[in-house]
Amino acid sequence: MPTETFEFQVEARQLLQMMIHSIYSNKDVFLRELISNASDALDKLRIEALRDDALGADVSDLHIALDADKEARTLTVRDNGIGMSHDDVVRLIGTIARSGTAEFLEQLKEAKAAGAAEGLIGQFGVGFYSSFMVADEVTLVTRRAGEDKGTRWTSTGEGTYTVETLDEAPQGTAITLRLKPEDAEDQLFDYTAPWKIKEIVKRYSDFITWPIRMVTGEQENAEKKEGEEGGEAAEPETLNSRKALWARSRDEVSDAEYHELYKHISHDWADPLEIIQVRAEGTFEYQALLFLPSHPPRDLFAQDSKRGVQLYVKRVLIMEDCEALIPEYLRFVKGVVDAADLSLNVSREILQQDRQIQLMHRRLAKKVLATIREMKSARPDNYAAFWREFGHVVKEGLLGDFDNRDAILAVASFASTHDPEKPTTLAEYVERMKEGQKHIHYMTGESRAAIENSPHMEAFREKGVEVLILTDPVDEVWVGAVPPFDGKELRSIAKGEADLDSGDEAEEAKAEREQRREEYAGLLTWMAERLGDDVKEVRLSSRLTVSPACVVSDAGDVTPALQAMYRAMGQELPTSKRILELNPGHPLVEGLRRAHAERADDPELPGTAELLYGMALLAEGSQLGDPARFTRLVAERLERTL
């Protein structure tokens, strides 16, 4: 039959030259693309055979075969799928510009500059041309099911290709690559080596539906030996497990199989805490198998940590760590998402804008949170272990995931003064609130001990009012960002006024406070003037029962701890002065009031006021503005007592 020679179009030549001159550092993906194309061809044949009884195609043993010849340095990827006609070859293989090559080239240049070129190779149906990364010549032999004649397509990628009609050819498609010499520096491996082929198949194509077979070197030796002895030749080895566990129902898969897959994906040594299976059907179909780890990875808070789940399209691995599918506050979740209709366009930038990816992102986040909630009620021990390890990360979602904020608050639990061991949920806190209590009270700090011993806790402890104990750094941020829970506002006991009285008690307390204010008016005004550089106000406290003084922030001000967090991140917030509260029932404060009333010009009094303020700062764990002066004042007072 005559052989026709064609020229590639300009854009096609540009693409081939980029492929040939190693635009991709990871050249292994060429085999992923060829196997993916072969799998699609097998899928199409199976569907076509069901539709057309007269097709006459053999569908008894659909498979993909790999044949590596070390001496000839060739690798063949063969399938017995739908195949292509002569016109299909010219239309689909010869003229790739119709698949959007110009757009692909533009994105490829941008991705190359950004170091993300590997993510684009499956885009626009040009995966076949990745063969030229590793081959000096590519030959394709194909015959469409139901037709008599076949077609051979050959090219070195230099500008032309030939198409020849064959009288005989097996059904399906065989692509033979004449491989380039091995070059370790250029990441060009020996793709005739069985171990390398197995490695690539295991990584990218392990869950392909169809068997991927290859006769390995060991089997060839066995075949020769058995042939000499008159025995039967060894069967080719199936390289892929074909166990797409996410595509099987839960009762068909053992926990051991799930655990094995989790360890393979996460490189973790321990079994997962929870297994989450998702199946979405309808206009957009996908399946997911997610895992909640039993302990956090070492790089959970590292900026360069790898996060996300594996993204498959029709059981072909497209991306190892697809960040766009899982929100950052669930970055510990591992697993697999397999989409049926998603384009192979896997640019990370484009994925973040893809409507289908966004839809999966929302559904997967909701499913994970629903599982945590179900775990809390049905498996409390598992929940306790999970929240202990990952609760501080999940709470990050309260700052950014507004759609799921209520769901996050529903699964969150917090330490509180109600029980020294058992944490509580906000719903449980609200159920226990005292009659007349208007707010959910909390305090943030470095440790439970520091919070429990804080002067701010004194009146709450005396009146038996429960306080949430929040010690995670993220607690400083989210508590001021969330709306009221069940109509109850979250309020810090270290900010604003402590209004703990209700009913008749409130009226009596108000009258008593007014009387006290009149008695202490002179002292409060004087101290406010003396400490004006450090505090915005000096007032009497309703939260202190034992300590002489404490420092609180105004209701709308940023706390010192939050200011320190922003400062550590390189963001300086305006410094706001705080409020000094005095306990009128403390002998030291009462003595200072009398001393000021009797001898307002006593030079010792300003030092006493400074000491009182410094003691309040130290009691809450804050730093002194001038530690040396504070120490000197203390030393002088102690000296006079001896």
Average pLDDT over residues 111-116: 50
Class of domain 504-641: mainly alpha
In tens, the pLDDT along 615-639 reads 999 998 888 989 999 999 999 999 9
Lowest mean pLDDT among 12-21, 112-121, 267-276, 459-468: 112-121
Binning pLDDT at 50, 70 and 90, where does residue 320 land? confident
| Segment among 107-121, 176-190, 341-355 with least mean pLDDT | 107-121
Of 122, 554, 145, which is closest to residue 345 (Cα–Cα)? Answer: 122
Check residue 514 and give its pLDDT.
Answer: 84
Given this model, what pLDDT does residue 23 score?
A: 58
157 belongs to an annotated ligand binding site? no
Residue 24, classed as helix, strand or coil, is coil
User: Per the annotation, does 227 bind a ligand?
Assistant: no
345, pLDDT greater than 60:
no
Residue 140 reports pLDDT greater than 90: yes
Q: Is 124 annotated as a binding residue?
A: yes
Q: Mean of the pLDDT values across residues 211-220?
A: 77
Confirm or deny that 123 is annotated as ligand binding: yes
* 335 assigned to a ligand binding site: no
Q: How confident is the model at residue 376 (pLDDT cuts 50, 70, 90)?
A: very high
444 among annotated binding-site residues: no
Q: Over 334-397, what HEC string results?
A: EEEEEECCCCCCCCHHHHCCCHHHHHHHHHHHHHHHHHHHHHHHHCHHHHHHHHHHHHHHHCCH
Contact between residue 538 and residue 526 where contact means Cβ atoms under 8 Å apart:
no
Structure confidence by residue, pLDDT tens digits, 388-421: 999 999 999 999 899 999 999 999 999 999 999 9
CATH class of 12-220: alpha beta
Domain 245-377 has CATH 2.60.40.10: no
Q: What is the pLDDT of residue 178?
A: 97
Ligand-binding site membership of 128 (annotated): yes
Assess whether pLDDT exceeds 80 at residue 597.
Answer: yes
What is the mean pLDDT of the segment spanning 106-133?
A: 59
The answer to whether the annotation marks 126 as part of a ligand binding site is yes
Output b/e per residue, 252-285; b: 16+ Cβ within 10 A: ebeeeebbebbbebbebeebbbbbbbbebeeeee
| CA dihedral (594, 596, 599, 603) positive or negative | positive
Taking alpha carbons only, the member of 46, 22, 61, 64 closest to residue 316 is 64
The predicted structure's pLDDT at residue 587: 94
- Rounded to an integer, what distance in angstroms lies between the CA atom of residue 54 and that of residue 462? 88
Is 445 labeled as ligand-binding? no
Does 504-641 match 413-492 at the fold level?
A: no
Is it the case that residue 589 has pLDDT exceeding 90? yes
Model confidence at 119, in pLDDT bands (50, 70, 90)?
Answer: very low
**Residue 334 and residue 537: Cα distance in Å, rounded?**
52
Locate the DSSP E strands across 46-166. 64-69, 74-79, 135-143, 150-155, 160-166
Q: How confident is the model at residue 315 (pLDDT cuts 50, 70, 90)?
A: confident
Residue 583 is labelled as binding a ligand: no
In angstroms, how far is the first alpha carbon of the chain from the final one? Answer: 118
Q: Annotated binding residue at 172? A: no
Looking at residue 329, its pLDDT comes to 95
Q: Regarding predicted confidence, which is higher, 417 or 500?
A: 417
Is 591 annotated to bind a ligand? Reply is no
pLDDT score of 210 more than 90: yes
The reported pLDDT for the residue numbered 452 is: 93
Angle subtended at Cα 504 by Cα 499 and Cα 509, rounded to the nearest 5 degrees: 50
Strands (E), 94-182: 135-143, 150-155, 160-166, 172-179
User: 331: pLDDT confidence band, cut at 50, 70 and 90?
Assistant: very high
Domain 413-492 has CATH 3.40.50.11260: yes
Q: What percent of the chain has pLDDT over 90?
A: 53
Lowest-pLDDT range, 57-61, 150-154, 571-575?
Answer: 571-575
Query: What's this model's pTM, rounded to 2 decimal places?
Result: 0.75
Q: Where are the domains of the chain?
A: 12-220, 245-377, 413-492, 504-641
Polymer length of the chain: 642
Mean pLDDT of 184-205: 90
- Tokens representing 151? 């077609």
